[in-house]
Amino acid sequence: MNIFTPQKNTGYTLLFAVLVTAIVLSVAISILSISRKEFLLSTSARESQFAFYAADSGMECAAYNDLVNGIFSSTTTPPTEISCANATSTIPAPTIVASSTNPAITSYTYIWSGKLGTSQCFSVDVTKEYDTSGGGLSVVTLIGSRGYNVGWNIGVTPPDCSAVNPKKVERKLLLVH
């Protein structure tokens, strides 16, 4: 004889509780995931500005030393060091490339890195293209500056911006004159 007759509504409370919990939890997780993305985006926007102004500092330093001090103008005595942001950087010997299409064009590329503040870093390359094909001498200067929010590496000689960091952001500026 079955004395425990089954009730038709058994388990409804549990189902309801699980349902409500699942809905509340999914709303919470979705809000958190949106907020997390906003947070990461705003942080990367801020870090990107640090990188941008590091690149800008490097570019202005190169432009100033080129336009005002003219340190890149002589190919016979290439610059060996440059002072930016209260620090002196070593400039290695330039890379000299003769154009394969026009033998009258020779470019000299100088590359150095510098530090801005505690962690920001910039890596600058200045290329001077000397063109004698028109009879006279025409010079085109290209200044490329990569800025980083972090990444100053003193483990190499000379120090550069090669330190690995998952937060690293790079911005580049190019100036042609």
CB of 47 or CB of 160, closer to another protein: 47
Q: Which residues pair with 141 in a beta bridge?
A: 128
Q: Pick from 19, 31, 140, 156 the residue near another protein by CB under 8 A.
A: 31
Q: Pick from 16, 19, 32, 90 the residue near another protein by CB under 8 A.
A: 32
CA distance 60 to 11: 73
# residues near another protein by CB under 8 A:
41
CB atoms within 10 A of CB 73: 13
CB of 56 or CB of 104, closer to another protein: 56
Q: Which residues pair with 127 in a beta bridge?
A: 109, 142
Angle at 32 between CA 26 and CA 36, to 5 degrees: 145
- When computed from its CA atoms, the radius of gyration of the chain, rounded to whole angstroms, is 30
List residues near another protein by CB under 8 A. 3-4, 17, 21, 24-25, 27-29, 31-32, 34-36, 38-39, 41-43, 45-46, 49-50, 53, 56-57, 60-61, 63-64, 67-68, 83-86, 88, 116-117, 120, 175
